[in-house]
A and B are shown apart, each in its own frame.
Chain A
Amino acid sequence: MSALLEVKAVTKRFGGLTANHNISFDVAENEILSVIGPNGAGKSTLFKMISSFLPTTSGEVLFKGERISNLKPHIVARKGVVRTFQETTIFKSMTVRESVIVAQHLRAKASLAGYFWGSKTALADVAAFGAYADELIDFLGLGDIRNELASNLPQGHLRALGIAIGLATDPTVLLLDEPFAGMNHDETMQMVALVKKVRDDRGVTVLLVEHDMPAVMNISDRIVVLNFGEMIAEGTPTQIQNNEKVIEAYLGSADDEIGV
């Protein structure tokens, strides 16, 4: 397996606080890799650095051998690494279809001025955006609510909409920010199935940050575990389940009962 995305010795400090210390791992093409860890382990910080929403203090992230850290988010998206957000980050006053249409920005062939004047390329783009939006919406099972305003949607649909927006950019790697947070068991399993479908049918590599353990064990090819900003383990779900350091981090060791 060749590495598609390489996280190399990434460190992030906020003043005196080290949120991530010397994190290194690879993501192979077409795999689902999860980054897990207790609250405050530095998962979200790492996630933001991979998508260039935060600069690294040291270290770098490579995508197909090219550095993608310490750039601008839209440039990283352009290269094919696209993040999703938790459900509060949506286009509130747009319908599902409008959101998925606007998200196809990277598929645009016409220039901005072309859209103003209504050039041929622009008109072709607009038609293609509509068709592709419908395709994605059906693929993700959002057909019934395509003309519903995003602000009226329940949580589960919003997560799926978030993934639809991410997919609309034609990403190579999709970064999912806690896709199962706050969901009950059934909803989580539906979401797990959806994420697997995205990987299998669309050939998208998925890197996700999560702390719902059962879901992560179910969905991941490999898992990276963070604790207090340090990477403490990496491996397959079975390896991680039997890793003493991981068990210690989640349950606390015998002489460290109070504290965490």
Chain B
Amino acid sequence: MLKLTMGQWIGLGVFLAAIFIAVPALIAASGRTDFYFTLTSVALLSIASAGVWLMFYIGRINIGQGAFALIGAYVSAILVTKAGMSFWLTLPIAGLFAAFVAVLIGLPILRLRGVYFAMISLVLTQVVTLTALALPITNGAKGITSIPLPGAISIFGLTLVPDFASMENSRLAFYYTACFLMVLTFAAMYRLVNSRLGHICRSMQQNEELAASIGINIAYIRIVVFAISSFFGGIGGAMFGSIAQSVYPSTFVVTDSVNFMLNCFLGGLGYVFGPMLGTLVLYFGWDLLFESGKYQLLIYSSLLIAAMLVLPNGLLSLRLDMFRRSGK
């Protein structure tokens, strides 16, 4: 199965300890509980960004992840508020529904490559936003509000996850849930990329015609990857809606779709964990620049351009270069 080197196991252990133990401890010590919401958001947005990264991996620039996040958020919110379903059940349904929509949309548009696919995908978010405004079930611009917090999960009377509403600190619970989902997502991504599936994806990224000539059903793989990508988007969006306890057509807009893509660029397209780091840096970077007032966007975008010029392969390439220099 999954073969990791000693160093990788240690890295994984340190990372898990950091997000599940050290971060909550630090937040408790400093009393800055507002960080829970920020970090939960980062975890969820990085799940959606992971999907975009996977599309890069087969050579498609996806600037439409916001569409699938919004679809996921609405599906979950509608099922919870109108059908009274448990949030935990709606979470996979939201992901699967987003994947289903991706298959329908992907069949015609995935033939396009490069900038043409990027342009079409850019429109998707706007289409979903406008659809949400128009449909009666999504309640138009008023959106869906007062979504109940996730309930308990119990199997055979054993409570695995307690009712979020009964908790003193649901922020912490959301943080743990988001981190758990993020770890699951990136574990799956790591496995996929390092298996033969990843090898096939890379062959398509490098040359689709050659990949087809050796018998790879490129249309099928493209659809599967787009569906997985959108599944991640749907999951991230649904969880996000549940935390905010509301969904509006403006919950995910075109800017969010662009940000998902930028997260991947910034973290590094060659590294599975790129989108995670990219999301963290981009999200915190934006917040830290809040002090600069009206110059916030100017400084932010200048830094982003500088980062891409100096580190075209993303932030993680920095780490690998250091490894190489030390004679790895």
- Which A residues contact B (CB, under 8 angstroms)? 51, 53, 72-74, 77-78, 82-85, 89-94, 98, 101-103, 105-106, 108, 112, 115-118, 122, 125-126, 165-166, 168-169
Contacts and interface: CB of A to CB of B under 8 A. Distances in A.
B206 A91 contact: yes
Contacts, number: 86
A105 B214 contact: yes
Interface in B73-129: none
Contact of B207 (A90, A115, A125): A90
12 contacts: A78-B215, A82-B215, A89-B210, A90-B206, A93-B202, A102-B200, A105-B200, A106-B214, A108-B196, A116-B192, A118-B2, A122-B195
Given A82-B214, A118-B2, A168-B214, A94 B202 contact: yes
Which of B192, B206, B210, B224 has the largest count of A CB atoms less than 10 A from its CB? B210
A51 B215 CA distance: 11
B218 interface: yes
Contact of A105 (B191, B195, B206, B215): B215
A118 B197 contact: no
B321 interface: no
B203 interface: yes
B210 to A, nearest CB: 5
A84 B210 CA distance: 8
A90 B214 contact: no
Given A115-B197, A118-B1, A91 B203 contact: yes
A246 B199 CA distance: 46
A73 B217 CA distance: 9
A51 B218 CA distance: 15
A161 to B, nearest CB: 11
Contacts of B214: 77, 82, 102-103, 105-106, 165-166, 168-169
B210 A91 contact: yes
A94 B206 contact: yes
Given A90-B206, A115-B197, 9 more contacts: A74-B218, A85-B209, A85-B210, A89-B209, A93-B202, A102-B196, A102-B200, A103-B214, A105-B200
B181 interface: no
Of A72, A73, A84, A166, most buried by chain B (CB within 10 Å of CB) is A73
B216 interface: yes
B216 A116 contact: no
Contacts of A85: 209-210, 213
Contacts of B2: 118
Interface in B142-193: 191-192
Contacts of A117: 1
Interface in B294-328: none
A169 B192 CA distance: 23
B212 interface: yes
Given A89-B207, A90-B207, A94-B202, A77 B213 contact: yes
Contacts of B217: 72, 74
Contacts of A118: 1-2, 195
A44 to B, nearest CB: 13
B212 A74 contact: yes
Contacts of B218: 74
A115 B206 contact: no
B231 to A, nearest CB: 14
B197 A112 contact: yes
A101 B199 CA distance: 9
B96 to A, nearest CB: 16
B200 A82 contact: no
B213 A115 contact: no
Nearest to B196: A115
A25 B296 CA distance: 70
Given A74-B217, A168-B214, A102 B207 contact: no
Contacts of A90: 206-207, 210
A126 B192 CA distance: 14
Given A102-B214, A116-B195, A53 B209 contact: yes
Contact of A93 (B192, B197, B206, B210): B206
Contacts of B206: 90-94
Q: Which of B1, B196, B213, B218 is the most central at the interface, judged by chain A CB atoms within 10 Å of its CB? A: B213
Contact of A169 (B196, B200, B215): B215
Contacts of B224: 112
Interface in B192-247: 192, 195-197, 199-200, 202-203, 206-207, 209-210, 212-219, 224
A51 B209 CA distance: 11
A44 B278 CA distance: 45
B207 A91 contact: yes
Contact of A51 (B199, B213, B216): B213
Of the listed residues A77, A84, A98, the one surrounded by the most CB atoms of chain B closer than 10 A to its CB is A77
